[in-house]
Amino acid sequence: MSTGAELRRKFLNYFALRDHLILPSASLVPKDDPSLLLTVAGMVPFKPYFQGKVTPPHPRLATAQKCLRTQDLEEVGKTARHNTFFEMLGNFSIGDYFKKETIGWSWEFLTKELGLPPEDLWITVYRDDQEAAEIWHDLMGVPRERIIPLGDDTNFWEAGPVGPCGPCSEILFDLGPAYSCGSPDCGVECECGRYLEVWNLVFTEFNREEDGKLSKLPRRNIDTGMGLERIASVLQGVPNNFETDLIFPLIEEAAIASGISYGADDKSDVALKVIADHARAVSFLIADGVHPSNEGRGYVLRRILRRAVRYGRLLGIRDPFLKRLTDKTIALYQDPYRELKERSGHIQRIVSLEEERFSETLEQGLQILQEQLEKVEVSGEKNLPGGVAFRLYDTFGFPLELTQEILAERGMNVDLDGFRVSMEKQRERARAARVETVPSDSFKVCTAYSGDKTKFTGYGNLSARSQITAIIADGKRKSESDPGGAGTGYIGPDTFLL
Ligand code: SER
């Protein structure tokens, strides 16, 4: 059996021997990239290389990259494969090798290094990509019936609305009939999970421009990604990512905290998986400098963390428990990811504080939600009034999506328009109050307001540089501060002050 750590090492060694420079994982917070909130793939840190804006340290690179995706957050814990945080193993060519080499290496790595039976591997290619199909068939010997051409939905890869992208070819592992939905049409496109996508090879030739059009990149590149947890599940012969050695110790920790064993029943298993997944995400996000807040990536962190706390309650855990899970994450991952160890005290503080804050209001919020739900149900409605969801958000710290998820469990929704109206009214009130109540005496560190992009840096620093976007003194906006005077500044984009 290969452990996750062995697989990570094996992959990087394999590509190091083929003249790839092995780089450490970049942060989960993309650098100088306003188009992405978080690092969603191994290629994200290399976008400027692909675009020809920056020269790479070497034309061949390989990484195990920390990634975080939240588009299917509600599915996490309920399915075998959805994770928020995961590691992506990837090799990259910046204008160097192209299809033939990368297809050859991925085939060799899977079938020779990892020993997967070639007959269990299926291939998809972009519908027009005859060249890739020929390489798979002529050079790798994959039978034509196991090479499936597909369209833009699955076989054209893009990291976000703009940036480097291209047609791709996926390698899928057939887990066997036991995993099939049984439909006569069950095949590589089926969602049932029998055919597990293990590796995606992107032929990055294009750039998606702001106007949505595709332009040619200066050179042809390669971007590949293999989910470490997925390939570990195949090699370790377990039915889902959670039972690999990369996550299972966290499930065991959550089982100890709750007194409920994994496997006791489906519902508690979901909760244990959610807690395990989210503990990893929370630890890595905080280690990379994300702080819980109500916007941007801070909101992503808050949402994940609070979802974990609620699932803890569902398991009957009353006392704070998340810290022991994040401590366990640090212990599990501190070897490859030293930032976890280096920032362990910070992670512990933020997790404890945020869990404590939410725990204070969770019970009461759940009770209010329950009462309101009963009222709505009696009236035969399917929508919770937006004002109620907003009160839960604003006063009880329930991320909207958490309320939506609780409602969905009962086949109900939130009246989103009503929620938005309440949010807007609250913002207007806050804007007015801010101007009226600004203190006239000076202070050294404050949370600064700059419209929409505000970052509180006061947990780690007592001073910082930022652009001043407004000066308010005696409750009024001023165009300049009094010389030597100490106005109160609402500034941005990166917080700070006076
Ligand atoms: N960027 C591609 C993906 O995330 C391949 O790494 O699937």
Q: What is the pLDDT of residues 254-285, one digit of tens each?
A: 999 999 999 999 999 999 999 999 999 999 99
Q: Is residue 369 one of the residues assigned to a domain?
A: no
User: Of 238, 270, 305, which residue constitutes the final position of a domain?
Assistant: 238
Instruction: Supply the pLDDT for residue 46.
Output: 98
Cis preceding linkage at 493, omega within 30:
yes
Instruction: Supply the pLDDT for residue 408.
Output: 92
Looking at the structure, tell me whether residues 82 and 158 fall in a common domain.
Answer: yes
Instruction: Supply the pLDDT for residue 493.
Output: 34
- Long-range contact pairs involving 410-413 (C-beta distance under 8 Å, separation at least 24): 410/373, 410/377, 411/382, 412/373, 412/376, 412/377, 412/382, 412/383, 412/384, 413/382, 413/383, 413/384
Centre of ligand 1 from the C-alpha of residue 155, in Å: 11
pTM of this prediction? Answer: 0.84
Looking at the structure, tell me whether residues 348 and 400 fall in a common domain.
Answer: no
The CA-based angle 474-480-483, given to 5 degrees, is 85
Instruction: Supply the pLDDT for residue 431.
Output: 79
Task: Detail the DSSP E strand segments found in 94-159.
Answer: 121-126, 147-150, 156-158
CB 190 within 8 A of CB 183: yes
* CB 43 less than 6 A from any atom of ligand 1: yes
Domain that holds residue 480: 439-498
Looking at the structure, tell me whether residues 154 and 104 fall in a common domain.
Answer: yes
Looking at the structure, tell me whether residues 281 and 257 fall in a common domain.
Answer: yes
H or E segment to which residue 90 belongs:
strand 85-93
CA distance readout (Å), 355 to 133, 159, 274:
51, 32, 16
H or E segment to which residue 206 belongs:
strand 195-208
Residue-wise burial string across 81-106, b where 16 or more C-beta atoms lie within 10 A, e elsewhere: bbbbbbbbbbbbbbbbbbbebbbebb
Which residues are paired to 413 by β-bridges?
383
Rg (alpha carbons) of the chain, rounded to whole number? 25
Instruction: Supply the pLDDT for residue 432.
Output: 78
Q: Is residue 222 one of the residues assigned to a domain?
A: yes
What is the C-alpha to C-alpha distance for residues 39 and 30, in angstroms, rounded to an integer? Answer: 6
Q: Is residue 374 one of the residues assigned to a domain?
A: no
pLDDT along the chain (498 residues), means of 10: 95 98 98 94 98 97 98 93 97 98 98 98 97 98 98 94 96 97 94 96 97 96 98 98 98 98 97 98 98 95 96 95 98 97 98 95 92 90 94 93 92 95 89 56 38 54 61 63 43 33
Centre of ligand 1 from the C-alpha of residue 418, in Å: 38
Instruction: Supply the pLDDT for residue 455.
Output: 59
Looking at the structure, tell me whether residues 111 and 195 fall in a common domain.
Answer: yes
What is the C-alpha to C-alpha distance for residues 230 and 44, in angstroms, rounded to an integer? Answer: 20
Which residues are paired to 121 by β-bridges?
173
CB 116 within 8 A of CB 173: yes
DSSP for residue 191: T
Looking at the structure, tell me whether residues 218 and 83 fall in a common domain.
Answer: yes
Looking at the structure, tell me whether residues 82 and 212 fall in a common domain.
Answer: yes
Q: How many helices (H) and strands (E) are present in the chain, helices listed first?
A: 15, 14
* CB 169 less than 6 A from any atom of ligand 1: no
Ligand 1 binding pocket mutation candidate from 69, 223, 231 (most atoms within 8 A of CB): 223
* CB 50 less than 6 A from any atom of ligand 1: no
Looking at the structure, tell me whether residues 96 and 186 fall in a common domain.
Answer: yes
Alpha-carbon torsion angle 151, 153, 157, 163, nearest 10: 120
Looking at the structure, tell me whether residues 17 and 154 fall in a common domain.
Answer: yes
Task: Detail the DSSP E strand segments found in 305-399.
Answer: 383-384
* CB 91 less than 6 A from any atom of ligand 1: no
Q: Can you read off the two tokens belonging to residue 120?
A: 């269990």
Nearest CA to ligand 1 atom 3: 225
H or E segment to which residue 445 belongs:
none
Centre of ligand 1 from the C-alpha of residue 351, in Å: 31
User: Of 416, 437, 458, which residue constitutes the final position of a domain?
Assistant: 437
Q: Which of 485, 461, 3, 403 is closest to 232 using CA atoms?
A: 3
Q: Can you read off the two tokens belonging to residue 66?
A: 């920390």
Which residues are paired to 196 by β-bridges?
173
User: Of 214, 238, 262, which residue constitutes the final position of a domain?
Assistant: 238
Q: What is the DSSP pairing of strand 195-208 with strand 214-227?
A: antiparallel
Kindly report the CATH number assigned to the domain that includes residue 147: 3.30.930.10
Q: Is residue 366 one of the residues assigned to a domain?
A: no
Looking at the structure, tell me whether residues 147 and 293 fall in a common domain.
Answer: no
* CB 260 less than 6 A from any atom of ligand 1: no
Looking at the structure, tell me whether residues 399 and 349 fall in a common domain.
Answer: no
What is the C-alpha to C-alpha distance for residues 314 and 390, in angstroms, rounded to an integer? Answer: 23
Q: How big is the chain, counted in residues? A: 498
Task: Detail the DSSP E strand segments found in 314-469.
Answer: 383-384, 413-414
Nearest CA to ligand 1 atom 6: 225
Q: What is residue 295's three-state secondary structure?
A: coil
Atom of ligand 1 nearest to the CA of 225: 6
Centre of ligand 1 from the C-alpha of residue 5, in Å: 21
Looking at the structure, tell me whether residues 166 and 259 fall in a common domain.
Answer: no
Centre of ligand 1 from the C-alpha of residue 239, in Å: 23
H or E segment to which residue 385 belongs:
none
DSSP for residue 482: P
* Total number of domains constituting the chain: 4
